[in-house]
Structure 1
Amino acid sequence: MPDNVAPFRADTVGSLLRTAPLKEARARFQRGEISADALKQVEDQEIRKIIAKQEEIGLQAITDGEFRRSWWHFDFLEGLDGVEGYESIQGIQFNGVQTKARGIKVTGKLGFSGTHPMIEHFKFLKATTTRVPKMTIPSPSVLHFRGGRSAIDKKTYPEMEPFFDDLAETYRQVVKGFADAGCRYLQLDDTVWAYLCSEEQRKMISDRGEDPSRLADIYARMINHAIADRPADMTITMHICRGNFRSTWISEGGYEPVAETLFGKVGIDGFFLEYDSARAGGFEPLRFVKPGKQRIVLGLVTTKTGELENADNVKKRIDEAAKYVALEQLCVSPQCGFASTEEGNNLAEEEQWAKLRLTVDIARDVWK
């Protein structure tokens, strides 16, 4: 597996801490003090800065830091046909903290009209970087899992199978839309597979009348349909996340419950796996990874604290993982984004950049 193709030996999950000028501009926009065009000018300016910083550090995959978003998922999903956002009664519950009150629901037939704000976001990124522009969007499973049956209009979808079929086809059109815009590195961010590893979350699924094991097969089928027609030179990866809001999390549990389905049935080119804490379990589930087929990006550098990891300790963990999947199929990255929502995690910008620089240095040492 060559080093100059995605996912790269040193890679990045995507989101970055919002800068002070961006935070100020977004707050002023919310108060009605500046126009959307004025906000965009600040976004463009700040994105150019972080692109230059990523390139200077040595990253080959470059993102826009999700600087135009409030949420890693809602902003994208609300742009699909048939999906609406709304002010919910309460936010999403994390470990000891709750997000802003926001939700999404399916109110009509799902579809992709061919236009979406994030297509334009990608075009700006592509035109601004000299490296590989990487786009991140939520996985299709996220739209279903968050609210389940109760968040899907029963008149439009009295049965669930047509809903899953339409969702898969919608995402097939989404992938085509990004491909047509020149995207050759697309990442699907997916919390659901990690939730299916959590006993607490699996119980929640069962309590609302759904079978966790069946959902894994449904999600695998949807994702495979969505990516089936991607261009031969387009890489599609998936980031498996346990929740990331203000340095907290939602789910715990190793990958064993889903490993055989995830690595054996989902036709993704690479998986970004969180391995920064004991919550992720051991490397044993990597035995199901197909030899020579997929890259596994080990999230060994945490984005939840500012303390910089010891490079030798990270290298030892890479060696441990190599007992289950060949070293040539491995890469390294932070375990998640630094700001899955605009609030960001509890670390400083300088600490964020130090962690990304460490990731590049480790990759250079390990893979020469």
Structure 2
Amino acid sequence: MTTLTETQIPFRYDVVGSLLRPASLKQARAEFAQGAIDAEQLKQVQRAETKRVVQKQIDLGLKAVTDGEFNRSWWHLDFLWGLTGVGHYDYQQSYKFHGSKTRTDNADLVGKVAFNPNHPFFESFQYLQSLVPAGVLVKQTIPSPTMLFRDNRSDNWHEFYPTWDAYLDDLAKAYHETILHFYELGCRYLQLDDTTWAFLISKLNATTDDVTAHQTYVNLAQDAVHVINTLLKDLPDDLTVTTHICRGNFKSTYLFSGSYDDVADYLGELNYDGLFLEYDNERAGSFTPLAKIWHHDAHKRLVLGLITSKFPELEDVETVKARIADAAKQVPLANLAISTQCGFASTEEGNILTEDQQWAKLRLVKQVADEVWDAD
């Protein structure tokens, strides 16, 4: 994977991934679901809107751009459904966000999990790549593999595998081969989005007096480190792979709270080039765990999510700069960057702000970076 000095990725100001879905795309998705338009008509709307937001990101001066995740309904499930061996079912439960209910889609194992050379995300990536001029990188986002062995998605693993470890090895291999194919198509910047660590923060802290339950979550953390580091092994040197540690993002609500202290050692073991960390409010705790997460890796950059994507009010520039200075007491300023704490639409519903307010947030991210680092 890349080194900090070679490419400076993640960039000083960076975009997490998802963007608000425009009304035209939401309408097209609804019409497709009702059978009023076909898949090709939906794709044409999706591509037209993708082209528009890519140009908007370029106009804002972003060095890496995404497709806003306009090719999916969920930040994670659409990708998981595209893997061989993963199916789609009705969970019949809403994910437990604070103050809002989600749809009840979920994924489960229907066979051995494997790389799918016809995964629909590959075609979407190629279209996105065709829109980007020289000097601007495409940033491809996909969910972390940990999202497949949580939330009942792998309960039936024993139907297809002799051991849990054999399943995890296949999962790591499927991801490794998927990432390599993105690379073959031209991808040089890929991000694994992951709510598992925030989930573990809440669970590890809550089970300190229950040895058996606590060990269950320790095992999950260890499995996560193993799978992630296995899939990252032997990837091309000029491919940057980062992760976004998400606390949940649905209609401006959240899932998890708590300091990074309980998972900092595990995060420090992960062989990513960079970690995007949510720090937009007091639920994230202090910057003290950053030193363990950075792990004195001169080539690793931590991206501080100091600008919220949940609400339209703009943060005070001097306050944000002061928080960066505070974080720099734990990690060298050269190894820090800034972004919004999450994307703007982890699901197609999106957060509660307008598109103009979204662009203002990203403009603020760039402004702060320009003033702190002179935007190298």
Q: TM-score, normalised by structure 1?
A: 0.95
Q: What residue number does 1:108 align with?
A: 111
Distance 2:213 2:291 in 1: 32
Q: Shift of residue 201 of structure 1?
A: 8.2
- Name which of 204, 214, 217 aligns with 1:212: 217
* Aligned partner of 1:357 among 352, 356, 363: 363
Evaluate the alpha carbon distance shift between residue 112 and residue 328 of structure 1 in structure 2; reply closer, same or farther with a 3 A threshold: same
Q: In structure 1, how many angstroms separate the alpha carbons of the residues matched to 2:212 and 2:107?
A: 21
Find the counterpart in structure 2 of residue 255 from structure 1.
260
Structure 1 consecutive aligned stretches of length 4 or more whose deviation exceeds 4 Å: 1-4, 200-210
Residue 115 of structure 1 and its aligned partner are, at CA, apart by 2.3
Asked if 2 retains the 8 angstrom alpha-carbon contact of 1:107 and 1:153, the reply is no
Query: How far off its partner does 1:290 sit?
Result: 2.9
1:275-286 equivalence runs, <5 A: 275-286=279-290
Shift of 1:129: 1.2
Question: Of 71, 74, 88, which residue of structure 1 is paired with 2:74?
Answer: 71
SS in 2 for 1:147: coil
- Alpha-carbon distance change, 182 to 197 in structure 1, aligned in 2, over 3 angstroms: same
1:59-92: CA deviation from partner (whole Å, max 9, x where unpaired): 1110000011100000000011111011221121
Cα–Cα, structure 1 residues 209 and 153, in superposed 2: closer, same or farther, change >3 Å? farther
What residue is the counterpart of 1:90 in the other structure?
93
* 1:240/1:274 contact within 8 Å kept: yes
Report the counterpart of residue 165 of structure 1 in structure 2.
169
Distance 2:279 2:301 in 1: 15
Give 1:184 deviation, angstroms. 0.4
- Distance (Å, rounded) in 2 between the aligned partners of 1:209 and 1:72: 28
- Out of 331, 346, 367, the position equivalent to 1:340 is 346
After superposition, residues 181-192 of structure 1 pair within 5 angstroms as 181-192=185-196
Q: Does 1:269 align with 2:246?
A: no
Matched position secondary structure for 2:201: coil
In 1, Cα distance between equivalents of 2:150 and 2:205: 11
The one-letter code of the counterpart of 1:358 is: L
Aligned-partner Cα distance in 1 for 2:363–2:331: 25
Q: Gaps (5+ residues) in structure 1?
A: none
Alignment RMSD: 1.9
* 1-structure distance, mates of 2:250, 2:183: 30
**Residue 180 of structure 2 aligns with which residue?**
176
Please state how far the C-alpha of 1:146 moved relative to its aligned partner: 2.1
Q: Secondary structure at the match of 1:33?
A: coil
SS at match of 2:28: helix
1:156 equivalenced with 2:160 (yes/no): yes
Q: In 2, distance between residues paired with 1:177 and 1:281?
A: 38
Contact 2:204 2:217 in 1 (8 A): no
The Cα shift of 1:207 comes to 8.3
In 2, are the aligned partners of 1:78 and 1:84 still within 8 Å (CA)?
yes
- Displacement of 1:9: 0.2
Indicate yes or no: 2:231 matched with 1:226.
yes
Q: Give 2:88's aligned amino acid.
A: G
Report if the CA contact (8 A) 1:179-1:230 is conserved: no
Segment of structure 1 superposing worse, 158-167 or 313-322? 158-167
Identity of aligned residues (%): 46
Contact 2:204/2:262 (<8 A) preserved = no
Letter in 1 for 2:201: C
CA distance in 2, matches of 1:331, 1:62: 16
Partner of 1:240: 245
Give the deviation of 1:157 after TM superposition: 2.7
CA–CA distance in structure 1, aligned partners of residues 5 and 163 of structure 2: 45
- Note closer, same or farther for the CA distance 1:338–1:170 as it changes in structure 2 (3 Å cut): same
Residue 21 (structure 1) aligned with residue 29 (structure 2): no
TM-score in terms of structure 2 length = 0.93
- In terms of mean alpha carbon deviation, does 108-117 or 301-310 score higher? 108-117
Residue aligned with 1:338, SS: coil
Instruction: Name the CA distance, whole Å, in 2 between partners of 1:87 and 1:332.
Output: 37
Preserved contact between residue 106 and residue 153 of structure 2 (Cα < 8 Å) = no
Shift of 1:154: 2.6
1:297 equivalent in structure 2: 303
Task: Find the aligned partners of 2:240 and 2:246 in 1 and give their Cα distance.
Answer: 19
Q: Report the Cα offset of residue 199 of structure 1.
A: 3.8
CA distance in 1 between counterparts of 2:190 and 2:211 reads: 32
Match of residue 367 from structure 1: 373
Contact preservation (8 Å) 2:17, 2:66: yes
The DSSP-based 3-state class of the residue aligned with 2:244 is strand
Distance 1:209 1:198, change over 3 A: closer
Which residue of the partner structure matches residue 142 of structure 1?
A: 147
CA offsets per residue over residues 126-173 of structure 1, 9 Å max, x none?
1101210000000011110222652x3432135311111111111111
Distance 2:213 2:204 in 1: 13
